Structure 1
């Protein structure tokens, strides 16, 4: 009766458990955010500050230097760097990893408030920005139109499109590019103003005081208290024209003194879409929101509002992060599916039992769903790395289930009942698979103690693998025995494969017997093989992270310092013609002047243009994005008077491949050194587009004040500066409200008075007495040269030289550059030094920390096994399988032309935990047989052939499960590919060597121990 109840209750309970797991997993999956990469927290913040009209040296002295000094007092600051250029400064503050950046930025704002009074009064409050990759726009859109229509296009974007997109859930901000803004411009003739005894400052004060609505108290009347308000705001341009101005010649209308026109503000930045004038707007998402869902909702909203827009207004997508996310995740998911199918095929091939294959087939989705549940409750997101972790773990997920299932299947074939086979089979290998799972999981523990970008990237991957293994252990110990007790049947006859495998088994027994007869030769041959593989190490290059083809190319064009926006646009027309002939280009978006939405900048940069070039999908082109970039790079070399750089495969968080810093006090010496370094590294093969941060000197007009002459007229330096500034830049007197917008009322001097040095010399400066004297009477005006940009690091002036790489690894190229610089670029004294940053610095930091994590992982694996075996000896034997992986790793990296990088080191970390599993299963069974009374040699010869099948099955499922990733199928798999290659080749070679080498080492150590015991007995006797 009880057995009957149990037989009914067991499948019901099992079904309920599986259904519960699937339901919770589905809910977890639906609610997990989807992103390209996990949320990264960079310990970097920026301070941006503008100072219109100031040159780089003034900006350095008046802004950058005091801000650097005050930032240096903050806790946990690692380094401070600044860039001073015309009109502004950018100060970057790098903190130690692990710093609370919310608290750090709050401290930065407090320090800025403390030093605010020492900055020039006309400088606006500096802004503090955190560097957060999640703040990068998830979409960039553009609307093209004629130059005449762009004002209306921008108005439609501001009034209709932006409010609609702001309401989309998950959208944080919609930023509109372009300087298409109107203003009321009042152009004055200084001679005419002088005749009336009026100055620009007087007009500014008058217009500002007249354009006001002023509360003026209240009045009680008819039992009511009514507020009084004097309304004097201008309602139209006519009001401004009719404004009465008191002068020395009487009251006149403002229109009699100045020309009043409604016009566009001077543009310092313009945008183009496929060569046509355009307005661009970018969209940022809220932190923690689902990128794919937000982009889908945005596209739906755009389709919804499209009918209400003008017929000829088409919104085009320049950049769509969700597109690459979908392509990348789809590729990884397909790799998981293909890997699962291959794993199931291996199982069926070995067992030739469809029910056993079905049991394992069910264990894979249950393990994956279980992993998603753990990921959801630990706050992880679905991204390229977490899914890559599941792809890495898909082969390992079935390892535990296979070991248990194979053992149950073997006992079932021996004639045991379903229930007894399930119970005894699980019990026999249960402790071994728990130990093997713990050894794999424990290797990820050291990553918790690793800091830096590598840890930020790979912690989510480590958690995903860990969760998948924990879920697979639960499935193997609970679900698989239950399913086996219900579904497994016996194979009455052996298949052809099983017959042939029996022959392999017999052959393996003979090989094992032969090696046990010559154990020292076996060890010697293995050591020789390891030494030969080590000889190939110098031929393996090094890298930080592999390049990712995101179907996106960036072009940056820099003209000589001081070039106008018009000159910059002339160069972009030539670039546009080149892009039209590149068939892989789908769309190009140009920002001429200033900076784009993907970089932080300060100051005016009218000599710069940046392109965002969207390529057709990978499936529709034969060239990679790097090859397309090289094609464009070769073609743009013919464009004169422009420094044009082309880049691709930018992950968004890694630095430039080559970054050389030259540090020293004198800018002229730094310029000479940077020229020598540029010439030297240009000769290194693979180096592309070396660029120096110090450009050619910036042409400028220098006004040298004669203080004695100026004081004789009662004129101070600030009066001269104000007069020049008002004449060249104008000054905003007030604004005019219209249709909810504010139009600036700007007072300017007619261009003919400032368009040449002669005109500038005749500019009148008013003394305190009211006397007006020409500028040439109190100052000397001449042309000069000044720095276009000044970079400092830790308060020392610095020049940074950056370059990209093509078809060569980072480590080899950096070593060649170091050797050439020592030979070609001697440094003038101890005040100057050359350091390497960029990806080389990131790579060395990551290698050092991950190597330490790998060493700690080996220790932890040994400790786990020592606890499991309750012995230090057997774990010591098993650990011999770890160095054997180097044979396969080196061979795999060599034949795949894959450099050693962060991904490869993570693969080694994972492999450390995997490779010992087979040895654990083998040694554990040898110990079990010895406990029954067998001698060591007989136990090895018995255990080896019995454990051969599960060892080969688990190894093959892990290897075949990673084959799609190792081949790099699909987009976005570049980061996981090195890990997969290391595991596939390392495990392949180590498995076959382990099957022979570990039993031999076990035998040798046991013989030595036996001799010691015999010798001890003889002494005691």
Structure 2
């Protein structure tokens, strides 16, 4: 066999054989490289592993990839200006200029009171920092007159909104960390702005630290117009006096007694009294001071953002990570800086004698989410490795080869981490899922190779060179292993072609899965043969040496038992005792001991697995969990073992009844197609008389087709509640609403903390108006956990049926106790908590809100510009038209059954009350006044104008001049404002202008200069995003056709949201997926060089594909797996619930396509070799040869399929953070590989059929090339 293989090997196989032989002969080189690889992998692993004194440089870690648009922000402030002024004079001219930058895809602008925010969206291929330089270049080259005088646009921070990873509040706390209060909001804001903010901004990796809440301190000069008139002072004179009263100067130096003195003129304002003494003018040597005609005081500046915590106002900040930085490491550095500055923050002694120190208290920290997702993945991978070891040991019943195969897995994972570091692939829930779904496939390489090596060693003569036998066995299947890996890698190529959000999300997964597969084949062809020669090839003939080695193993086991791990040490010591006694045992007893050793090893691994997996729950204990895992794994393995034992008989029968055997396979493929596309699309060609029969109607309802969505939502452990107030609400009214909302939400027992925000953080990343509410809701975990997401156990009194508490009423931790459930019995999922929150937050004056989470919201807003998963963008020529049409769409969307009515909301574009002062040009001309003269008085007297900044050490505060509050806060008194004329008279404003009320915009949005408004909506739970959008679109089009909805001239609309990512990905996959399958076909053809054999093997793709869809359909059925095993409901254990056809599911199918042909390749290769060796010349001989060839490979095929299926059980049953993304990717592979066992029969049947046809038509029974 091996000679034939060598004779006909192609060049690639020659290279493989050379590598195998080199590694077998140069084991020291292999050992050194292996040790270096393991150490390197440990140093770059994203998990927080303790590697002693070695300095780690881990792969960057985040919760999910940054899938937002490639965009830059241009932010422009123009204080006091209305949204209309901002849009006309800033946003529109800037948008026109920025559209010309190379690579720009879209330009979105938001014009809000006092500022403009413009998002320049670039093509994905444009470098982030290159785009920043182009934007700066364009801003610096703006022609004069483009923007108003004194208005300077600035480039936003080099970050995206997804970089807002750490939010905190400043609170007064005592030495024990208990809240004490005692600090005013303006004090806290000053500490935030001038101490905490600057300290944190200097941390490596931070792009920005922005402030929110409290009051900015301001020197307020409130002038009295009556006093000004009496003194003959104009507002302009007051402004000049204030500006010229705040100044320091330098007068170089003088030399005195050979010493140089620096001369300074001190004149900065340090106190309100300094301003009161500022002279405006003098009358007959009598000075007129600012204090004579105005009240000077310290007060709060105008604010456009408020932060509340649990119903009370507070001050806080948000830390933004720079683009491309490691969020996990950066947050850690921020925490270290907070710890460093904690003791130096201001403190004060309260009247009761308590010392209150300002403390930085986080309320949103992405570290927790990152650590929990990493913990979920780490646990899943560890459990997969242990499950795989159990499968291998039980299937092979050869402990040393099982250790050999099991050792592949951790080394492969470490090599994958090295690949991630070298290719700059960040670690996140999606990327690391690539390793999780590849574990079963990774071990297949070792199984095929080890199984062949074991068989070759069993069949070899005792005199044969063990090295040569292992070499020949490895070379024999090397080509098949390479082909299997190549098809798996090629199957994932469509993921590399994905673009935009889906590409950013799943390309890291494609990289990690590819790294894992390539690492596994490298290990299988280099390390595994060399280690196999050491473990399996050497035979110690010297009795003394053998006894000494066994004694060393016994001593080592005892050391491990006493100082490291009891169970592990016991196992090692047991093996030592066995090898010492082995020479004295007869064959039967020795074989029984070998079986016992295998079973003991399985038992140890089972107990270890049960202690980490805990499928029954931690309260059940290790024994019950071990029993449950043993039963589940045992039943599945028993089924595979029965198939393996019965395989020759079943195959022989199917070869005699080919059509009967293939009929279920064909039906399975048809059912899979029907599940995917729906009965109507697949069988719509049937006559109407057939389709209208009762049974066909029932089938059509049973198989309506799968719904589509972009991706399943990641459970972040927090909600973001984003309703809006009415546009006319003042900031005071909005603050009261926000406080009330906090208290209502906090009344839900499962809610741990609610922190609300209205308006904007002082950052270009946040363009929110004061009507927008954002409440971050942290809800309690189902069971009480520690800081790392590990479930805690507490002392439980079985006799009482309750937990034991100490004298303070606190639970007592006890590793032998039970976990404490923090949710009420009626709350079963986060969706139930959300429903409770929505019900509690229902109050007048506030809209409802779609279900959102912090990261999810940032991603959605970065992609679409609005704060909902789905919405409609309405474009039009004017604000009134788009608002009117949007309101009509709002009414219609509420009528769509799959749309959540409470979440539908159309922008109230022109709902803000305006007071407009229209100056009469004819009247002001009579007094010799210009428009600018009157406008300056309006701007300063009513709005107030910051004129200068005080310099008080490191602190800076504005000085503002304004009319007294009682003269400017009532619309009726605005007409009394005095306007000075050139002649010295002062004329009331009402004689120069008309004051009128009207409605105007609170925010003006535009895209590529066209006005736009949004109609937001959300789906009813259980519906797919794409299906909901299709339903809404169809309903609106029907209303337009029927005349119930009329689209005004110039108005257009389009649906937008994350569903577009799914639509785009589906279109791309329609092109790339067939190409990928074609490449897989070509790879198989290069392996077999026969179209017929290639088609036979390729048929496994369609069988597995159908199995994947069948499993997805079963997951949506309420009766599927609805039974208890040892008291555990299997639906709950396997997290069974409906899943839509998302990009994540398609990624699972792509992973399946790559491995679906592996068993077929192994089976067909062996059958071809058998046919070549036996050269059958009759139909019966052909069938016998096919059965014999299949029997030789069935063990490897069963093991590869069993490991792939069972290795996915920990993923499918995981319930930790991040599992909602892993499970949809694992379902197609699980279902497909469970059904792919049919290919064990399909390939031999088709192969035999082909050979029989050749024989019957007079051809030779077999003309194959002599290789494998």
Please point out which of 327, 332, 340 is paired with 1:291. 327
The answer to whether residue 431 in structure 2 is matched with residue 265 in structure 1 is no
The alpha-carbon distance between structure 1 residues 18 and 594, as it changes in their structure 2 partners (threshold 3 A), is closer
> Contact 1:857/1:909 (CA < 8 Å) preserved in 2?
no
Aligned equivalent of 1:893: 1112
Query: What SS is found at the alignment partner of 1:611?
Result: strand
> Contact 1:141/1:282 (CA < 8 Å) preserved in 2?
yes
The answer to whether residue 492 in structure 2 is matched with residue 444 in structure 1 is yes
Aligned equivalent of 2:530: 482
Tell me the distance in 2 between the aligned counterparts of 1:502 and 1:642.
62
Query: What SS is found at the alignment partner of 1:974?
Result: helix
Tell me the distance in 2 between the aligned counterparts of 1:573 and 1:225.
59
How big is each residue's C-alpha offset from its partner over 1:862-918, in whole Å with a ceiling of 9 and x where there is no partner? 222233334444333322111222321111112221100010111111111111111
Question: 1:255-654 to 2 correspondence within 5 Å?
Answer: 255-286=291-322, 289-303=325-339, 305-307=341-343, 310=347, 311-313=355-357, 314-417=359-462, 418-488=466-536, 504-505=643-644, 507-537=646-676, 538-595=704-761, 600-602=765-767, 605-619=769-783, 620-621=822-823, 622-637=827-842, 639-645=843-849, 647-649=851-853, 650-651=855-856, 652-654=858-860
Query: What SS is found at the alignment partner of 2:722?
Result: strand
Aligned equivalent of 1:3: none
The Cα of 1:501 is off from its aligned counterpart by 8.0
Deviates more, 1:138-147 or 1:876-885: 138-147
Tell me the distance in 2 between the aligned counterparts of 1:107 and 1:635.
48
Tell me the distance in 1 between the aligned counterparts of 2:874 and 2:26.
73
The answer to whether residue 829 in structure 2 is matched with residue 813 in structure 1 is no
Aligned equivalent of 2:238: 203
Structure 2 gaps of 5+ residues are 1-21, 46-55, 173-180, 348-354, 540-586, 600-633, 677-703, 784-821, 1116-1137, 1177-1181, 1262-1268
Query: What SS is found at the alignment partner of 1:702?
Result: strand
The Cα of 1:170 is off from its aligned counterpart by 4.7
Q: How many residues align?
A: 1007
Tell me the distance in 2 between the aligned counterparts of 1:521 and 1:893.
27
Query: What SS is found at the alignment partner of 1:790?
Result: strand
Query: What SS is found at the alignment partner of 1:606?
Result: coil
Tell me the distance in 2 between the aligned counterparts of 1:135 and 1:501.
47
The Cα of 1:79 is off from its aligned counterpart by 2.2
The answer to whether residue 210 in structure 2 is matched with residue 175 in structure 1 is yes
Aligned equivalent of 1:252: 288
The Cα of 1:124 is off from its aligned counterpart by 3.0
The alpha-carbon distance between structure 1 residues 55 and 386, as it changes in their structure 2 partners (threshold 3 A), is same
Query: What SS is found at the alignment partner of 2:499?
Result: coil
Please point out which of 21, 25, 28 is paired with 2:44. 28
Tell me the distance in 2 between the aligned counterparts of 1:386 and 1:261.
57
The alpha-carbon distance between structure 1 residues 717 and 834, as it changes in their structure 2 partners (threshold 3 A), is same
> Contact 2:68/2:859 (CA < 8 Å) preserved in 1?
no
Aligned equivalent of 2:114: 87
> Contact 2:87/2:111 (CA < 8 Å) preserved in 1?
yes
Tell me the distance in 1 between the aligned counterparts of 2:24 and 2:706.
60
Question: 1:478-877 to 2 correspondence within 5 Å?
Answer: 478-488=526-536, 504-505=643-644, 507-537=646-676, 538-595=704-761, 600-602=765-767, 605-619=769-783, 620-621=822-823, 622-637=827-842, 639-645=843-849, 647-649=851-853, 650-651=855-856, 652-654=858-860, 656-683=868-895, 684-687=897-900, 688-695=902-909, 697-805=911-1019, 806-824=1021-1039, 826-828=1045-1047, 831-877=1050-1096
> Contact 1:629/1:648 (CA < 8 Å) preserved in 2?
no
The answer to whether residue 112 in structure 2 is matched with residue 112 in structure 1 is no
> Contact 1:51/1:122 (CA < 8 Å) preserved in 2?
no
> Contact 1:48/1:601 (CA < 8 Å) preserved in 2?
no
> Contact 1:22/1:369 (CA < 8 Å) preserved in 2?
yes
The Cα of 1:203 is off from its aligned counterpart by 1.8
Tell me the distance in 2 between the aligned counterparts of 1:810 and 1:988.
29
Aligned equivalent of 1:64: 91
Query: What SS is found at the alignment partner of 1:549?
Result: coil
The answer to whether residue 1125 in structure 2 is matched with residue 905 in structure 1 is no
Tell me the distance in 2 between the aligned counterparts of 1:301 and 1:74.
39
The alpha-carbon distance between structure 1 residues 352 and 446, as it changes in their structure 2 partners (threshold 3 A), is same
The Cα of 1:82 is off from its aligned counterpart by 2.2
> Contact 1:396/1:958 (CA < 8 Å) preserved in 2?
yes
The alpha-carbon distance between structure 1 residues 416 and 547, as it changes in their structure 2 partners (threshold 3 A), is farther
Tell me the distance in 2 between the aligned counterparts of 1:850 and 1:247.
82
> Contact 2:909/2:1013 (CA < 8 Å) preserved in 1?
no
The Cα of 1:202 is off from its aligned counterpart by 1.5
Aligned equivalent of 1:76: 103
Query: What SS is found at the alignment partner of 1:175?
Result: strand
Question: 1:9-20 to 2 correspondence within 5 Å?
Answer: 15-20=31-36
Tell me the distance in 2 between the aligned counterparts of 1:389 and 1:447.
12
Structure 1 gaps of 5+ residues are 1-5, 1017-1021
> Contact 1:133/1:653 (CA < 8 Å) preserved in 2?
no
> Contact 1:85/1:790 (CA < 8 Å) preserved in 2?
yes
> Contact 2:158/2:207 (CA < 8 Å) preserved in 1?
no
Query: What SS is found at the alignment partner of 1:79?
Result: strand
> Contact 1:693/1:789 (CA < 8 Å) preserved in 2?
no
Deviates more, 1:183-192 or 1:654-663: 654-663
Please point out which of 1210, 1223, 1244 is paired with 1:977. 1223
> Contact 1:273/1:589 (CA < 8 Å) preserved in 2?
yes
Tell me the distance in 1 between the aligned counterparts of 2:1114 and 2:1251.
38
> Contact 1:440/1:912 (CA < 8 Å) preserved in 2?
yes
Question: 1:957-972 to 2 correspondence within 5 Å?
Answer: 957-972=1203-1218
How big is each residue's C-alpha offset from its partner over 1:499-539, in whole Å with a ceiling of 9 and x where there is no partner? 99887446322332333334344444422221123222234
How big is each residue's C-alpha offset from its partner over 1:327-364, in whole Å with a ceiling of 9 and x where there is no partner? 11111111111111111111112111222211112121
The alpha-carbon distance between structure 1 residues 382 and 828, as it changes in their structure 2 partners (threshold 3 A), is closer
The Cα of 1:801 is off from its aligned counterpart by 1.3
TM-score using structure 1 length: 0.92
The alpha-carbon distance between structure 1 residues 720 and 1013, as it changes in their structure 2 partners (threshold 3 A), is farther
The alpha-carbon distance between structure 1 residues 15 and 75, as it changes in their structure 2 partners (threshold 3 A), is closer
Tell me the distance in 2 between the aligned counterparts of 1:58 and 1:635.
39
> Contact 2:885/2:1047 (CA < 8 Å) preserved in 1?
no
> Contact 1:39/1:134 (CA < 8 Å) preserved in 2?
no
The Cα of 1:252 is off from its aligned counterpart by 1.9
The answer to whether residue 191 in structure 2 is matched with residue 191 in structure 1 is no
Deviates more, 1:273-282 or 1:229-238: 229-238
> Contact 1:49/1:602 (CA < 8 Å) preserved in 2?
no
The Cα of 1:985 is off from its aligned counterpart by 0.6
TM-score using structure 2 length: 0.75
The Cα of 1:596 is off from its aligned counterpart by 8.1
Deviates more, 1:474-483 or 1:972-981: 474-483
The Cα of 1:315 is off from its aligned counterpart by 3.8
